[in-house]
């Protein structure tokens, strides 16, 4: 039987649907489902994974589209005033789509 995440992506654009399907396959059904996003909490090394129905265009370092965001549990960075500090870093992942019409 399909979960809510799997059912909610049936009408998503093909590229967004495939990216979300891959995350569901690896991490299971999401913890939260909205009309435009699937959200997983504390899965694998990630504090949060957000798969999106929408493609977000970015132009750096080259034009590309982002489909979901990954947020690590914590990232240690060297701080000039203190030995170490911790900060959250949101990362994005894309499938190299140069053209949103591929969706």
Q: Which two structure tokens, joined as six digits, stand for 98?
A: 């140069």
| pLDDT score recorded for residue 76 | 37
Residue 100: half-sphere exposure toward Cβ, Cα within 13 Å: 11
CA 61 to chain centre: 19
Percent of the chain with pLDDT over 70: 65
Give the predicted TM-score (pTM) of the model: 0.65
For residue range 35-75, what is the model confidence (pLDDT) as tens digits?
899 999 999 888 999 999 987 777 777 776 666 677 877 64
Closest by Cα among 49, 86, 43 to 71? 49
pLDDT band at 18 (very low <50, low <70, confident <90, very high): very high
Pairing of strands 46-58, 64-72: antiparallel
């Amino acid at each position: 039987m399909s979960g809510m995440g799997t059912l909610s992506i049936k009408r998503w654009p093909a590229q967004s649907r495939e990216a979300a399907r891959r995350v569901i396959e690896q991490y299971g059904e999401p913890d939260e489902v909205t009309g435009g996003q699937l959200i997983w909490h504390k899965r694998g090394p990630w504090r949060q994974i957000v798969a999106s129905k929408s493609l977000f265009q970015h132009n750096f370092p080259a034009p590309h589209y982002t489909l979901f965001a990954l947020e690590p549990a914590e990232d240690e960075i060297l701080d000039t005033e203190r030995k170490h500090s911790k900060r959250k870093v949101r990362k994005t992942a894309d499938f190299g789509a140069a053209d949103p019409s591929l969706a």
